[in-house]
Amino acid sequence: MNYLLTLGLTLTAASGTALAQTTSAPDTTRVALVPDAPRPLTFYGFVDGYYGYDFKHADTQDRPGFLYSHDRQNEFTVNNAIIGVRYDNGQVRGAVGLHAGTYVTANYAAEDQVFKHIYEAYAGFRPFEKAWLDAGIFTSHIGFESAISKDNWTLTRSLMAENSPYYEAGVRFTYEVDPKLTLTALALNGWQNIRENNQAKAVGTQIQWKPTDKLVMNSSGFYGNEQPRDLVRRRRYFHNFYTSYAATNRLALAVVFDVGKQESERRGGKADTWHTGAAFVRYQLADKWSATLRGEYYNADRGVVISSISPVAGDGNSQIRAASLNLDYAPASNVVVRMEGRGFRSPQAFLTDRNGQPTASYGNLTTSIALSF
């Protein structure tokens, strides 16, 4: 009897020890195998300090009025400094970003003071799988280049990019058909304006297709009335197309083309049209060095868009050709040091030089150090 009791107690203790081992070991293994969950809340920042120098331009720190980014010369300053926060848990998302710099002064001059320093501010959710619906202020759906110079192939933006929207305010619906094709539809206050200036609204579209990792094709459209409420309605139609191709590990190419039309202020009058194009060739010289060559042109009836929203008085057309060479050095993945030389030429005088004489040519040099995090 004592033997049986002793045997029973021994088996019970052994089974208890085994049970403790089998219940604790899997828990430890399971915890070790669970990866860190992605953080839905992230912070980001960007700063672009620069110095520019102009040739054959009036004795002023302001560059020509059709340049809005890096638009100061002979002055050490900041083009754009951004700080922001983004939230995305896969079902809802949003962002708030603030910025300051010469880019803000030039591009947001017409906005209310309370809005000038908002880089982005929007909230969104998924109405169904693969779709997003966002409302607020966000970056433009138009163009190959953004307001963050570090992400662009060249330090300064092309003429077409400078004279098309940097930012927008409205509602944006995005649908990912598949990983290679994304469709976007937008309802907007207008052509780069946060505060509405008339009772009309604008619409936008975007189709972006990435058939391979090396090729990107994009088509963006805009339609709206861009005149203040006290002026006659003048509808604007616009389309932007670009494609970029990584030909080799070192060589990349891009072509961009814009075409637009705006109704005449005279009923039945000929519409003002503009068309512009640019070609980029980027080459990786070494591990941390690259160079980009850009050629571009801009043709606009009566200076439509490039001079102001309303065409300049008279029937003169704006015709400008430009070329630039960019040299980049990236000491780290989030830092780039850049130098760019750029020249402009027109069939007719379009600026006043340092001696107060009309000139048909203009050139500048711009250097920058940009950091993102």
Is 39 or 177 the better-scoring residue by pLDDT?
177
pLDDT at 310: 42
- CB of 106 within 8 A of CB of 68? yes
269 vs 239: CA distance, rounded Å: 22
Calculate mean pLDDT across residues 160-181.
96
Tokens of 252: 């990349």
Q: Where are the domains of the chain?
A: 41-372
3-state helix, strand, coil in the chain (%, to 5): 15, 50, 35
Tokens of 244: 């970029």
Tokens of 4: 């049986």
Q: Express as a percent the part of the chain with pLDDT over 70.
A: 86
Whether the per-residue pLDDT at 137 is higher than 90: the answer is yes
Calculate mean pLDDT across residues 59-63.
87
278 vs 290: CA distance, rounded Å: 19
173 vs 127: CA distance, rounded Å: 10
The band of 315, judged by pLDDT with boundaries at 50, 70 and 90, is low
**What tens digit of pLDDT does each residue of 102-126 get?**
999 999 998 999 999 999 999 999 9
How far is Cα of residue 29 from the mean position of the Cα atoms in its chain?
45
Indicate the range of 111-115, 243-247, 338-342 predicted with least confidence. Answer: 111-115
For the domain with range 41-372, which CATH number is right: 1.10.260.40, 1.10.8.50, 2.60.40.10, 2.40.160.10?
2.40.160.10
Whether the per-residue pLDDT at 373 is higher than 50: the answer is yes
202 vs 235: CA distance, rounded Å: 10
- Alpha-carbon distances, residue 112 vs 79, 145, 239, 309 (angstroms): 20, 25, 28, 18
Calculate mean pLDDT across residues 197-210.
93
Whether the per-residue pLDDT at 32 is higher than 80: the answer is no
Which residues are CB-contacts of 111 (< 8 A; sequence separation ≥ 6)?
A: 193, 194, 195
Is 59 or 277 the better-scoring residue by pLDDT?
277
Is 173 or 30 the better-scoring residue by pLDDT?
173
Q: By CB neighbour count within 10 A (0-12 exposed, 13-18 middle, 19+ buried), where does 37 fall?
A: exposed
DSSP code string of 256-309: EEEEEEE--SSTTPPPEEEEEEEEEEEEE-SSSEEEEEEEEEEEEGGGBTTTBS
Calculate mean pLDDT across residues 224-239.
81
How far is Cα of residue 192 from the mean position of the Cα atoms in its chain?
13
pLDDT at 268: 64
Cα separation of the two ends of the chain: 76
30 vs 33: CA distance, rounded Å: 5
